[in-house]
Structure 1
């Protein structure tokens, strides 16, 4: 089932939750709505489900305007962050609940319901827990049961609101891989809300970046990560260093120092005039560290902490010549770290091999 939302507006008091949002979701696609708390992603999901009503705009499911259609008639499965399982029911009865609640004319027989429940529990790899109660399950198991219950009514659309938000990091990672595999088997049009960048990039076919009720960028995980369209997208996706400076010939000046060097690649986010105030972004692995004896260019900084693990070393630093202290994260190879022999408190300089620069005028 394809989904379209057109010119969706939603306001809570004076708070603008959604500001004229229009999106297309392709049939069989798994899309992540990604953004910080309060950006409007959950509100949009609830409007698609019919759990919330938009102030203006339309929701179109498979070419049909369903803006005024009741939630029970939209054929949508919904999975909440906190499972929402019935505590007094067994796993079997939780999964069977939606099928048993259908009108008598549409309801399957007891035997058919039992077969369907066992089939779904096998699908989520928990058929051996049918007689347990939710309190006897782990968080990850409860969430898989919640997903089986949502699938039991054979929805054409699956909506997931922070489905793994209440779980620890290890379980989250296991479940998102499992969700991707399950989606590849079922091909149900699915939209999931998350504030976890890694989760969205790892699981989704496409990512919708949202901020303050607006859509900032839409694209594949690779597109939004490699080619962020706005400063917000660059700053939100993954670890990044932000430098506020001036765009000068030959580089970006931060304070009195040039962050760029002869080999720096400058990627411009739109027209940036020489001399303009800019926001310059660089990922931790795109920054070089130079000791004072090595170089006289680059932004001065002080080593705060050196974290050595695996093939790479992470170095945390503070600026030393800016009016307000800025913090930087740099990732270098273990060999480079050994050569530099960095110590806490050591003064160094930072330069960037690659910079994405945006005009600072009109940006947050």
Structure 2
């Protein structure tokens, strides 16, 4: 099913939850609504589901305005963060519930219900738990049962609100891989809300990055990570170092180094900031006359394949620490010690003019 939202506005008192949001969710794809708490992502999901009403704008399902349709008429499956399973019902009964409460004319026979529930339990790889009760299950198992229950009524749209937020990191990682495989098998148009950038980048076909009720950027994961549209997106999708300087005719001058800023070829003498990911920094031992920003190594943390370095700029003691990530092999090759003087050179840098990073 194709889903569109057009010019959606929503306020709670003086708080603007959604500010004229228009989006299209591709049929059969998994879209992540990503952003910090309070950015409007859950409100938008609830409006699409029919659990919340918008102040203005439209929700279009297959091109038809569904804004006045009751939640039961939207053929939407909803999975909440905290499972919302019925504790007094077995796993089987929880999944069968949505089928058994259908109007008599649409209700399948008990034999069809049994066959469908067992097929769904096999799909989520928990058919051996049919007779258990929710309190007897782990968090990851309960969430898979909640997903099976949502799928039982054959929704045309699957909506997931922070589905793995209540789980520990290891289980969360396992479940998001499992969700991706499940989606590749079913191809149900799906939208899931998360504030976890790693989760969105790993699972989604498309990411919608939101901030303060507005859409900051839309794109495939690689696109939004490699080409952030704003300082907010850069800062939200992982750690970033800031290099302040002056932008003039397509060049950023910062700490005595010059960097191309082709998007600002017409800019004259403006304040600018270069944004650099920790893994886009080259590290070398200091040598007089060599190009680079002079720093001191404050701390190194090398476990596994990567070494994380905290560096203090020599030219600006008040500047925050620079974070760099290099391979453990390179770290061992340099044989670095705390307090050493080093040179830093950005390999890749993205410039924004007069837009401070939001945190």
Shorter chain as denominator, the TM-score bin is over 0.9
Displacement of 1:251 in angstroms is 5.4
**Cα distance in structure 1, aligned partners of 2:332 and 2:293:** 22
The range that moved more, 289-298 or 349-358, is 289-298
Where 2:19 maps in the other structure, the secondary structure is strand
- Indicate the residue corresponding to 2:219 in structure 1: 219
**Cα distance in structure 1, aligned partners of 2:357 and 2:299:** 31
Q: Please, what is the CA RMSD of the aligned residues?
A: 2.0
Q: Is it true that 1:116 corresponds to 2:77 in the alignment? A: no
Where 1:354 maps in the other structure, the secondary structure is coil
- Indicate the residue corresponding to 1:312 in structure 2: 306
Displacement of 1:259 in angstroms is 4.4
- Indicate the residue corresponding to 2:271 in structure 1: 277
Which string of whole-angstrom CA distances, capped at 9 and with x for unpartnered residues, describes residues 318-352 of structure 1?
Answer: 34543744122211233432243222233333221
TM-score by length of 2: 0.93
- Indicate the residue corresponding to 2:37 in structure 1: 37
**Cα distance in structure 2, aligned partners of 1:267 and 1:129:** 58
Contact 1:259 1:350 in 2 (8 A): no
- Indicate the residue corresponding to 2:280 in structure 1: 286
- Indicate the residue corresponding to 2:28 in structure 1: 28
Q: Are the structure 2 counterparts of residues 268 and 69 from structure 1 closer, same or farther at C-alpha, using a change threshold of 3 Å?
A: farther
**Cα distance in structure 1, aligned partners of 2:201 and 2:242:** 21
Which string of whole-angstrom CA distances, capped at 9 and with x for unpartnered residues, describes residues 209-248 of structure 1?
Answer: 1111111111111111111111111111123222222225
Q: Is it true that 1:343 corresponds to 2:341 in the alignment? A: no
Contact 1:252 1:258 in 2 (8 A): no
Displacement of 1:316 in angstroms is 1.8
Displacement of 1:124 in angstroms is 0.4
TM-score by length of 1: 0.92
Where 2:94 maps in the other structure, the secondary structure is helix
**Cα distance in structure 1, aligned partners of 2:30 and 2:264:** 30
- Indicate the residue corresponding to 2:64 in structure 1: 64
Matched residues, number: 358
Q: Are the structure 2 counterparts of residues 351 and 243 from structure 1 closer, same or farther at C-alpha, using a change threshold of 3 Å?
A: same
Contact 1:251 1:259 in 2 (8 A): no
Displacement of 1:193 in angstroms is 0.6
Matches within 5 A, 1:223-238: 223-238=223-238
**Cα distance in structure 2, aligned partners of 1:98 and 1:360:** 53
Contact 1:259 1:352 in 2 (8 A): no
**Cα distance in structure 1, aligned partners of 2:31 and 2:180:** 11
Matches within 5 A, 1:1-364: 1-247=1-247, 252-254=252-254, 257-260=255-258, 266=260, 268=262, 273-293=267-287, 297-322=291-316, 324-361=318-355, 364=358
Q: Which runs of 4+ in 1 moved over 4 A?
A: 248-251, 267-272, 294-297, 361-364
Task: List runs of 5+ in structure 2 lacking aligned partners.
Answer: none
Displacement of 1:57 in angstroms is 0.4
**Cα distance in structure 1, aligned partners of 2:262 and 2:324:** 22
